Chain A
């Protein structure tokens, strides 16, 4: 085994051990934050599939999280078991993603970004204005945390392990997906759509598939978000949230499998670490993002792999990273 590979496996093992042991030495708020991290990472994983692997800019991921959250809040509020609501949220967002992507993927790149941007704003308007269904700007309160297979998830710690388990499940699902012929097709599409088409890959169908699956990850994340936070309102799922998710994926490193984990962690933990700066946190964060993009557009993971290559840990590091050419460059 190459040293770099060994180190990354060791790092992953340490991270998992830390996550499992965390509730033992963290206070309630810390546990809540980690649970939020797990949920957000699922949404970011989905966006990474759309953006990093299928190469489509989506600004709708926040809206899909919102849809998932509202579906679960409304269904469990009506007395339907959580498990069914959870599956429904994922299925519904998959279908909406498919229906949105079908016409939208006729146009690509920046146009898709704008169609999804419009979609996000429309979803927000619907959530805000259709009071009979969503309770408008007042949002939905007191969303119950579920009991699954006899396990009561009411406590922060219990829900944290549930969220972590789900994160593990979705991580595995994506890992499996990316190694399946489908995943290979996604990669081929990103690297060279024309060549992929010439090899018999149905470009539009596969892009659509990646988009719909990515969207359903958002829906599932929303289904976990609602019972975690126990209060949802339309404002949480505005365009800003979608932009934030996009920032997470890129700051972490789009197209790297572990990118979203880092991106979500940075986005959620940095405000806590920078608490001493008081109101200036966003100012500092945004400045850091600008600098990071200028120095290393492949994000934090890209930075790490470059660093690893520099100190000679992996000569084959190049193989693990996405191709050096930027797949998302302008179509000229």
Chain B
């Protein structure tokens, strides 16, 4: 019998992963108006970088994980920004949306054709075990997951709020023109958000793959959930995306247990529709002022 407390903890653990992905997603939107439809694939792919590093180059898991993050930063951060986003920014939002949709297709097919269409087992950070707290049994994996994900988010929050670089990035997100006037290298800041996004995605990938196994279709639901989380929480606030992610993970778990397993994926979407209609700026979002 799974107790409510167990459901909450495992829900928060999944939610923390969603939050990681959603924060990256909203960072990209804030600084460069990129709606990244390939975000889910950005989470799916790094697991395969890690697997390749382990199998082909025979690295230890932790070393391979670092290599995976590094490759993700270069390919999904740097190259993605330079090769795909930069040439298209001047054309507006829509061509970029289409381009990222095509990119997600490309990544999915590439993994399927060149690695495997089967789900791959993926090593976990810690050995699977159980911990008893307050009379309830928790799996170590979901606790570690929760701790790591929350730690990463807290670190990111501290970086954005407390360091000068973080504040410069925030300024860029809020008002690029004024940021440029006060002497911030806006293009460099935008590049940094892309790098940070790829790191977040890679970490999410390493955390979630032991549970879901590494498979080329993993990105579909993850990407969708990340959008929903980002919008529910507030598209223009990193805090909002975190809240949205945690909320969705929690809801998803509780709904599956208490309401209907068949319609569990409908609940976040209904919530999304309600939030968009009732508070389009998101639960924690600011109203965006638009110039005529």
Q: A residues within 8 Å of B by Cβ?
A: 57, 103-104, 106-107, 109-111, 113-115, 117-119, 121-122, 125, 129, 194, 239, 243, 246-247, 250-251, 254, 279-280, 282-283, 285-287, 289-290, 293-294, 297, 326, 328-332
Contacts and interface: CB of A to CB of B under 8 A. Distances in A.
B264 to A, nearest CB: 10
Given A250-B98, A332-B291, A111 B276 contact: yes
| Chain B contact residues: helix, strand, loop or mixed | helix
Contact of A279 (B33, B88, B113, B277): B113
B113 A286 contact: no
Given A118-B269, A297-B88, A328-B93, A129 B262 contact: yes
A282 B105 contact: yes
B101 A243 contact: yes
B102 interface: yes
The CB with the most chain A CB atoms within 10 A, among B101, B110, B228, B273, is that of B101
Interface residues of B, number: 41
Contact of B272 (A106, A114, A246, A326): A114
A331 B290 contact: yes
Nearest to A130: B262
B263 interface: yes
B265 A121 contact: yes
Interface in B169-213: none
The CB with the most chain B CB atoms within 10 A, among A243, A251, A286, is that of A286
28 contacts: A104-B276, A104-B277, A107-B276, A107-B277, A110-B93, A111-B231, A118-B270, A122-B266, A125-B265, A246-B98, A251-B98, A254-B94, A279-B113, A280-B109, A282-B105, A283-B106, A283-B110, A285-B102, A286-B102, A286-B109, A287-B102, A287-B106, A290-B99, A293-B102, A297-B91, A329-B92, A330-B92, A332-B291
Given A121-B269, A294-B87, A330 B99 contact: no
Closest 4 A/B residue pairs (Cβ): A329-B92, A297-B95, A289-B102, A286-B106
A115 B271 CA distance: 11
Contacts of A254: 94
B272 A118 contact: yes
Contact of B92 (A113, A282, A328): A328
Contact of A103 (B91, B263, B266, B277): B277
Contacts of A286: 102-103, 105-106, 109
Contacts of A329: 91-93
B134 interface: no
B113 to A, nearest CB: 6
A289 B280 contact: no
B93 A293 contact: no
B43 to A, nearest CB: 17
Contacts of A104: 276-277
Given A115-B273, A121-B269, A290 B84 contact: yes
Contact of B106 (A110, A121, A290): A290
Interface of B: 33, 35, 84, 87-88, 91-99, 101-103, 105-106, 109-110, 113, 224, 227-228, 231, 262-263, 265-266, 269-270, 272-273, 276-277, 280, 288, 290-292
B231 A283 contact: no
Contacts of A107: 276-277, 280
Contacts of B33: 330, 332
A293 B263 contact: no
Given A279-B113, A331-B290, A293 B106 contact: no
Contacts of A129: 262-263
Contact of B95 (A118, A250, A282, A331): A250
A106 B99 contact: no
A199 to B, nearest CB: 16
Contacts of B87: 294
Contacts of A331: 288, 290
A293 B95 CA distance: 6
Contacts of A326: 91-92, 94
A106 B2 CA distance: 42
A297 to B, nearest CB: 4
Contact of B276 (A115, A125, A285): A115
A321 to B, nearest CB: 15
Contacts of B98: 246-247, 250-251, 289, 293
Contact of B102 (A122, A247, A280, A297): A247
The CB with the most chain B CB atoms within 10 A, among A104, A118, A246, is that of A118
A109 B88 contact: no
B265 A57 contact: no
The CB with the most chain B CB atoms within 10 A, among A114, A279, A280, is that of A114
The CB with the most chain A CB atoms within 10 A, among B97, B110, B231, B270, is that of B97
B75 to A, nearest CB: 14
B109 A283 contact: yes
